[in-house]
């Protein structure tokens, strides 16, 4: 195995702010004129095929003996299971399927691996098992109308806990699968629409499961202990008001749960919950977003990450002192990976991951004893190692009402500050989500072809406190759209951008925002590409997955008493005003934003005589995961913006090759 290519060091310091701000309230406003396009004589368009042949790697899991690491990767163009020696070597493909395989977990005896797999993107996951040395995969649950996902083994290997939801149900419960008989029975029986349970950990004697329960808009959550034999529930974090307590790990002695909670002023922090006394001991006091990881198997350490303004750092804490030390990795997203634990069974190593918008993600093994790390996976296609890609910049600007908005900005190399360049606004999905500095193949393809790209985190985004997350409730496509439009003002103020060459593109809620933007603020946009976006919240309620409809009701209210809000917050009310040529990309089998939403968009705009095109992808769900479809969709996107922002007329071959 090749030695570590980028140095990993454990820094003996607590959290320090990256940009001088201690939280969202004191983010410095960025001077648009401080944005620059760097000169680079080697700059050239990144080869599209190479960008998408660069692999994604995630979902690592240690074997019980600590000798092997399992992970999901799309090396073959499909997200399947592979494994590699923890000391390095050539990875071995363990499973092969046209469908997605996630959340793999080794059995305690190391003989089997259980994972979840759906069909053609339908998200109706089944639990599957495959021998850890390879062999025929077995469908353990084989249910066409039930979602079974997130397997967690009991210590004795006799039972697998997992999340369970019927297709027509809105609640996720915890169910148990008997490994010997493959029989399933539900442990919880949630009655509140849209609420979700997830298994956190088994007690050492397997008599108790510690679990989380969260409400539909993800604003309130508790940690429970559940008697496995009787199903009796006990709330360990009972509270009043809207507070999230998210359990992540049980200490080896069974006495403490590692928590993430926003009980401190609405900002996610790290805490330790003593199970016997219910006492909470706070580890961090930040106004950024901190999420707990796991205890080490020997109980001496635990992990957590801090998301500061879209950049994530990983920390290892001493259990006795709660003093944390940062794992020093380059700027970007630095986190831990491991199911159920990033720590090796011997507590001597930990799996870390690193990626950035211009650096694909890879797994690394850090040795806690020697202080050395080695790279385990190598994702980048060779040509990209010599193709310079501009890094992201974090910028801050004020929106219409004075709210500070963070955005990730990518500026191509070698641009002139002469107001002649095209730009794209890229709203993120969710809306309960955040654009962070992840490896972004679409951005790399577009920026290397001369497009300035900006991805705002408008009100409604996570990462900036609960009040900010709730600021778009019953106002979808209102204030948050104005935050996206304020990004256009920022772009124009840099002096680089031609106001007549501004486009917008996004998927899911980003697709909704794209449709809302071109309809409600039609004079701003010269072209648009939307992927699996929502045109009408009322039609979404009738055709989308029931758990998603409960989430939607939590954001917009009861559709019977708030029908006007649903109509005012839907692009269908404004789409006939659209002027920008629109490309629509949609999966045929999308369970979240059904194909009917895309069809409505296309039918309306065609009837209005607007420029619109559409392409549907067979056997794809919410998002495109098959490599050939990822490549096709970005080629269509580039061709669309080249034609309508740069004035080029692509041939059919350029559009589809």
Q: Nearest 5°: phi and psi at 535?
A: -100, -30
What mean pLDDT is predicted for residues 562-589?
Answer: 97
Q: Nearest 5°: phi and psi at 493?
A: -70, -15
Category of 63 on φ-ψ map: left (φ > 0), alpha (ψ -120 to 50) or beta: beta
Other beta carbons within 10 angstroms of residue 14's beta carbon come to: 12
Structure tokens at 480: 């948050």
Burial class (CB in 10 A: 0-12, 13-18, 19+), 211: buried
Q: Judge whether residue 3 has pLDDT over 50.
A: no
Q: Judge whether residue 15 has pLDDT over 60.
A: no
Name the pLDDT band for 591 (thresholds 50, 70, 90).
very high
CB 98 within 8 A of CB 619: yes
CB 212 within 8 A of CB 246: yes
pLDDT confidence of residue 11: 42
* Cα–Cα dist 322/302, whole Å: 9
What mean pLDDT is predicted for residues 19-45?
Answer: 92
Name the pLDDT band for 5 (thresholds 50, 70, 90).
very low
Question: C-alpha 431: how far from its chain's center?
Answer: 12
Q: Judge whether residue 570 has pLDDT over 60.
A: yes
What mean pLDDT is predicted for residues 93-119?
Answer: 97
pLDDT digits (tens, 9 = 90+) for 55-92: 999 999 999 999 999 999 999 999 999 999 999 999 99
Pairwise pLDDT comparison (18 vs 217), residue with the higher score: 217
Please give the mean pLDDT across all residues of the chain: 94
Q: Judge whether residue 37 has pLDDT over 70.
A: yes
The two beta strands, 138-139 and 9-11, are unpaired
What mean pLDDT is predicted for residues 475-484?
Answer: 98
pLDDT confidence of residue 463: 95
Helical H segments across 14-140, by residue range? 48-53
What mean pLDDT is predicted for residues 536-560?
Answer: 94
Q: Judge whether residue 435 has pLDDT over 50.
A: yes
Distances (CA, A) of 150 to 23, 143, 184, 204, 546: 33, 16, 14, 20, 19
CATH number assigned to the domain covering 388-656: 3.40.50.1820
Name the 3-class secondary structure at 137: coil
pLDDT confidence of residue 648: 87
DSSP assignments along 574-597, one per residue: TGGG--S-EEEEEETT-SSS-HHH
pLDDT confidence of residue 288: 95
Q: Judge whether residue 616 has pLDDT over 60.
A: yes
pLDDT confidence of residue 549: 94
pLDDT confidence of residue 371: 84
pLDDT confidence of residue 358: 86
What mean pLDDT is predicted for residues 406-430?
Answer: 97
What mean pLDDT is predicted for residues 252-279?
Answer: 97
Name the pLDDT band for 9 (thresholds 50, 70, 90).
very low
pLDDT digits (tens, 9 = 90+) for 489-534: 999 999 999 999 999 999 999 999 999 999 999 999 999 999 999 9
Segment (H or E) for 165: strand 159-166
CB 339 within 8 A of CB 59: yes
What mean pLDDT is predicted for residues 289-304?
Answer: 98
pLDDT confidence of residue 653: 44
pLDDT digits (tens, 9 = 90+) for 448-465: 999 999 999 999 999 999
């Amino acid at each position: 195995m090749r030695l570590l290519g980028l140095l990993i060091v454990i820094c003996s310091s607590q959290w320090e702010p990256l940009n001088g701000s201690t939280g969202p309230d004191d983010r410095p406003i960025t001077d648009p004129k401080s944005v620059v396009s760097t000169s680079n004589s080697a700059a050239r368009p990144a080869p599209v095929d190479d960008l998408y042949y660069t692999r994604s790697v995630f979902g690592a899991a240690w074997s019980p003996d600590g000798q092997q690491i399992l992970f999901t990767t799309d090396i073959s163009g499909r997200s399947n299971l592979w494994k590699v020696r923890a000391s390095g070597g050539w990875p071995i493909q363990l499973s092969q399927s046209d469908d997605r395989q996630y959340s793999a977990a080794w059995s305690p005896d190391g003989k089997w691996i259980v994972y979840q797999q759906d069909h053609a993107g339908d998200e109706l996951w089944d639990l599957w098992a495959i021998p850890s040395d390879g062999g025929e995969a077995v469908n353990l649950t084989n249910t066409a109308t039930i979602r079974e996902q997130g397997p967690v083994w009991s210590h004795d290997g006799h039972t697998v806990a997992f999340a369970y939801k019927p297709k027509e149900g809105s609640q996720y419960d915890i169910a148990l699968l008997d490994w010997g008989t493959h029989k399933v029975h539900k442990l919880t029986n949630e009655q509140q629409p849209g609420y979700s349970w997830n298994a956190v950990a088994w007690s050492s004697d397997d008599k108790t499961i510690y679990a989380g329960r969260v409400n539909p808009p993800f604003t309130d959550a508790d940690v429970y202990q559940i008697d496995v034999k009787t199903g009796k529930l006990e709330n360990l974090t009972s509270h009043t008001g809207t507070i999230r307590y998210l359990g992540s790990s049980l200490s080896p002695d069974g006495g403490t749960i590692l928590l993430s909670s926003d009980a401190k002023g609405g900002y996610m922090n790290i805490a330790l919950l003593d199970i016997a006394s219910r006492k909470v001991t706070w580890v961090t006091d930040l106004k950024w977003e901190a999420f707990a990881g796991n205890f080490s198997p020997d109980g001496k350490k635990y992990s957590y990450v801090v998301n500061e303004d879209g950049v994530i750092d990983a920390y290892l804490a001493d259990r006795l002192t709660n003093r944390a030390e940062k794992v020093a990795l380059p700027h970007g997203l630095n986190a831990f990976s491991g199911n159920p634990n990033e720590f090796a069974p011997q507590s001597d190593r930990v799996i870390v991951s690193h990626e950035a918008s211009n650096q694909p993600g890879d797994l690394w093994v850090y040795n806690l004893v020697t202080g050395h790390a080695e790279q385990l996976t190598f994702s980048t296609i060779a040509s990209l190692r010599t193709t310079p890609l501009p890094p992201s910049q974090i910028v801050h600007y004020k929106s219409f009402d004075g709210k500070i908005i963070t955005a990730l900005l990518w500026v191509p190399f070698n641009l002139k500050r002469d107001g002649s360049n095209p730009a794209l606004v890229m709203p993120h999905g969710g809306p309960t989500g955040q654009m962070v500095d992840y490896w972004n193949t679409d951005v790399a393809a577009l920026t290397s072809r001369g497009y300035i790209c900006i991805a705002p985190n408008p009100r409604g985004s996570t990462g900036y406190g609960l009040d900010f997350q709730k600021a778009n409730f019953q106002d979808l496509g209102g204030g948050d759209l104005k935050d996206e439009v304020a990004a256009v003002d920022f772009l124009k103020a840099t002096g680089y951008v031609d106001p007549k060459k501004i486009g917008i593109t996004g998927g899911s809620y980003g697709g909704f925002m794209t449709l809302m933007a071109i309809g409600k603020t039609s004079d701003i946009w010269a072209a648009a590409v939307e992927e699996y976006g929502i045109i009408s919240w009322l039609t979404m309620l009738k055709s989308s997955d029931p758990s998603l409809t409960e989430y939607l009701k939590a954001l917009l209210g009861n559709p019977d008493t708030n029908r006007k809000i649903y109509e005012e917050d839907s692009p269908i009310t404004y789409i006939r005003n659209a002027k920008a040529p629109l490309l629509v990309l949609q999966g045929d089998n999308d369970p979240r934003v059904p194909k009917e939403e895309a069809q409505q968009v296309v039918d309306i705009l065609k009837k209005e005589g607007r420029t619109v095109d559409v392409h549907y992808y067979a056997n794809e769900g919410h998002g495109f995961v098959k490599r050939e479809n990822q490549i096709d969709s970005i080629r269509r996107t580039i061709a669309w913006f080249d034609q309508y922002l740069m004035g080029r007329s692509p041939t059919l071959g350029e559009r589809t090759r």
